[in-house]
């Protein structure tokens, strides 16, 4: 098991996105293993089910993430997860690896990271647009066309646009693309104006 773990964690060729940290290392290892055995979609579905389980059951999430539970108990605990989610062999092996290495506390981060890797693998770019009210179809299309042609989006990338409504921004838009944020909200402009007026006094 230990030898297999070492091999898995050192392989990261062909990964479409560079992830950092301990969770990034494990996520990259899982993506590489799933790519090699042709189970990317199966693992993606597995992780989605596990993520739903953790969201639905805070006690289960706490059990995995708390350092107070010893490794032996956590290894037994993942058996219930595998049974409930009916995971593939690749995912089962990966969960066992996390348990063996005392890294089950990274599960939620790995799920998030794997989702990002799969989006990059498909050439998708997730864009979050926050507005004071729902955007109508015409405005949404105009915004999508502008973003598609911008330097923020690589050519031929597939945009996945999500519209969030937050009345507190008063008006305008907040656009998030990856780690970049473009704040065009009215509330942001008012804050900047207040700061300038304060500094001028």
Domain residue limits, the chain: 2-120, 123-200
CA-to-CA distance for 109 and 33, rounded, in angstroms? 18
Residue 188's contacts (CB-CB under 8 Å, 6 or more residues apart) are 169, 172, 174
Per residue of the chain (201 residues), what is the pLDDT tens digit? Answer: 333 443 444 445 578 888 999 999 999 999 999 999 999 999 999 999 999 988 898 888 888 888 777 777 777 777 777 777 788 999 999 998 998 888 988 999 999 999 989 988 988 888 999 999 999 999 999 998 999 888 888 777 888 889 999 999 999 999 998 778 999 999 998 888 888 888 876
Residue 136 Cα distances to 14, 36, 140, angstroms: 39, 43, 6
CA 157, 162, 166, 167 dihedral sign is positive
Model pLDDT for residues 129-146, shown as the tens digit of each residue: 999 999 999 999 999 899
Give the model's pLDDT for residue 1.
Answer: 37
Confidence (pTM): 0.67
Q: What is the pLDDT of residue 5?
A: 41
Answer yes or no: CATH 2.60.120.370 is held by domain 2-120: no
Which burial class, exposed, middle or buried, applies to 114 when counting CB atoms under 10 A from its CB (0-12, 13-18, 19+)?
A: buried
């Amino acid at each position: 098991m230990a030898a297999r773990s070492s091999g898995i964690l050192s392989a990261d060729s062909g990964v479409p996105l560079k992830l950092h940290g301990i969770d990034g290392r494990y996520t990259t290892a899982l993506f590489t293993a799933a790519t090699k055995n042709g189970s990317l979609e199966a693992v993606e579905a597995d992780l989605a089910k596990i993520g739903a389980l953790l969201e639905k059951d805070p006690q289960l999430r706490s059990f995995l993430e708390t350092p107070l539970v010893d490794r032996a108990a956590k290894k037994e605990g993942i058996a219930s997860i595998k049974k409930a989610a009916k995971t593939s062999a690749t995912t089962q092996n990966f969960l066992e690896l996390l348990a063996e290495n005392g890294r089950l506390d990274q599960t939620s981060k790995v799920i998030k990271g794997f989702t990002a890797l799969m989006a990059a693998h498909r050439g998708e770019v997730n864009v979050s647009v926050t507005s004071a009210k729902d955007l109508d179809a015409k405005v949404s299309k105009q915004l999508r066309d502008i973003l598609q042609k911008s330097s923020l989006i690589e050519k031929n990338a597939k945009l996945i646009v999500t519209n969030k409504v937050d009345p507190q921004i008063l008006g305008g838009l907040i656009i998030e693309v990856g780690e970049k944020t473009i704040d065009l909200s009215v509330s942001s402009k008012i804050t900047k104006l207040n700061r300038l007026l304060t500094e001028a006094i």
